[in-house]
Structure 1
Amino acid sequence: MDLYAAFADVPRPAELHGCPCCVAADEGRPLLAAPLRDLTAEDLARYAAKALNTWGGPQEFRYFTPRLLELAADDAFGWPDAEIVFIKLGEAGWRDWPQRDAIVDFLHAYWTRTLASFPGCPSADTALCALGGAGPDMEPFLDEWGRLTSEQAIRHLHEFVSLDMVWRHGRPRLGNAFWDTSSRAYRQVIAWLTGGPAAEAVDAAFARTEDEAVLRLLAEIDSRLIHG
């Protein structure tokens, strides 16, 4: 479902109030005057960074959600990071919105697109952390990755376990600083990587490929995983 169509009945806010110490009184006016689709990353970057904290609340954020997610998924913001935008989506309470099914579809499309391209922007590390910040059940995304149906998906997993999963005192941690280590999403990813499912996915990929380069990648991935 197209995000803009799903959010078409969300009214444009009459005003976009912010903390007077942080946001000028008329600073939100240009964002409300232009058509939502026409707003650029440069237009929205400051709002995206301050939304929900010092500029506007969940209802205003809901109005801007289609464009914010579109730009963040394309890694169009130099600042704020994509993870921050997705974290704010979770903080805005999207799972209680009428548009939640469209958001779920968007999140899945975002992940599928990420896995299909390597090297790509965003990396699997960025995309997975962004999804975790938004707060959906991570199992479907991990299941999709675990199918390892393409060399690109395998290369993403190799890069992730080599660079983005770190070991401290014998325990695995995810290196992206935007992870909430107390979250269910974080625990799901760690369990997938170290509880057996990722290793089983690698074993299955071993059995169906004869490509020497891919087999080397799989062997290196396997050496970094704990088998449950």
Structure 2
Amino acid sequence: MRLAAPPARRRLDAALDDLSRTFRGMTAHPDEHNCECHWGSAEELALLKTPDVELEPDLLRRAWQAIDWSDHAAVLRRILPQFARSLVAGRAEPLFGLEEAGSCLARGHWQEWPEEHAGPVREFLHAWWARSLTDPDAAVPAHEVLAACAEASGSFTPWLADWERLTGDLSDRRLAETAAEWEYELLGDNMPWSVHFYELDEERMRAELVSWLLGHAAARLRDSGAPTDLQHRIRLLGLTGEARWTDPHWPGHRY
């Protein structure tokens, strides 16, 4: 007997299918160009101007990582269905971190698209994020998905609101894992990754995250039995300057 897929997986599958329907037939701008020496051949560029042709993985990677398209939004719409499935499967292969994929979305200004286009992108991101918190078989770690979603949208707020609603043992473990992954940079008053899209407000985003960690997350870490030293490191985010690094529980980080 075949078991039904978990709800989060069904939601994500539906979101991916909706992206395919929404962006079917899309192409890069007819006049789009890129450097043959550094990006790829004229034949490869022509594929971006041909609708609904599957791209080889390396070509897909070069297409979404390029930052110099004259009409980035059109290129993004052309590759989005395949790009999204690559992200979900953990096959995107960023140079540094998955926030690069979020930066690709941000450069396309997808939130300014008509709702019939922006809506499916928004639902895909929320569905992908929800699966990372609730499905043990999710291919990408939750903190990487959160970085991609926050970078794509320029805010932590909608994703942290989702996290508050998505409770349970697995979601709690993902919270502890993310806090452990990010506490070093946050205690150095940095973002957990180098923000890539120049229009994003790094200080505001970090403040959003720290405020949530000191409030909802701290209580949840305590209630779920997270390691005591991790709880102290999150508590230290509420201190500044000498009070932070002279605290008895300062972990000895050097920056």
TM-score range for the pair, normalised by the shorter chain length: 0.7 to 0.9
Displacement, 1:160? Answer: 1.5
Specify the SS of the correspondent of 2:202: coil
> Mapping of 1:153-164 within 5 angstroms?
153-164=171-182
Aligned to 1:88: 104
- Alpha-carbon distance between aligned partners in 2 of 1:219 and 1:26, rounded to the nearest angstrom: 57
1:63 match: 78
Shift, 1:31, TM fit: 4.1
Alignment correspondent of 1:191: 211
Aligned position for 1:26? 43
CA distance in 2, matches of 1:224, 1:117: 27
Distance in 2 between the 1:73 and 1:95 partners?
A: 20
TM-score of the pair, normalised by structure 1: 0.76
Asked if 1:222 corresponds to 2:231, the answer is yes
The verdict on how the C-alpha distance between 1:165 and 1:118 changes in structure 2, with shifts beyond 3 A counting, is farther
Pairwise CA distance, 1:188: 1.5
**Could you tell me which residue of structure 1 aligns to residue 91 of structure 2?**
76
Q: What TM-score, normalized by structure 2, do the two folds share?
A: 0.69
Residue 210 (structure 1) aligns with: none
Q: 1-side partners of 2:94 and 2:192: how far apart?
A: 20
Residue in structure 2 matching 1:103, options 102, 118, 121: 121
Q: Secondary structure at the match of 1:161?
A: helix
- 1:165 aligns to what SS in structure 2? helix
The one-character-per-residue Cα deviations of 1:150-179 (angstroms, maximum 9, x if unpaired) are: 2211111111112222167x6554433446
Distance 1:12 1:167, change over 3 A: closer
User: Is the 8 Å Cα contact of residues 60 and 79 (structure 2) preserved in structure 1?
Assistant: no
Residues 48, 85 of structure 1: 8 Å contact kept: yes
Structure 2 unaligned residues grouped into runs of 5+:
1-14, 239-255
Q: Which moved more, 1:20-29 or 1:132-141?
A: 20-29
Equivalent residue runs for 1:25-44 within 5 Å: 25-33=42-50, 35-36=52-53, 38-44=54-60
SS of residue in 2 equivalent to 1:19 = coil
Q: Aligned-pair distance for 1:134?
A: 0.5
- Quote the Cα distance in structure 2 between the aligned partners of 1:39 and 1:88: 17
**Aligned residue pairs, count:** 214
CA contact (8 A) 2:29 2:49 kept: yes
| Unpaired runs of at least 5, structure 1 | 207-214
Taking structure 1 as reference, are residues 185 and 73 closer, same or farther at Cα in structure 2, changes over 3 Å only? farther
Shift of 1:60: 2.4
- Percent identical pairs in the alignment equals 22
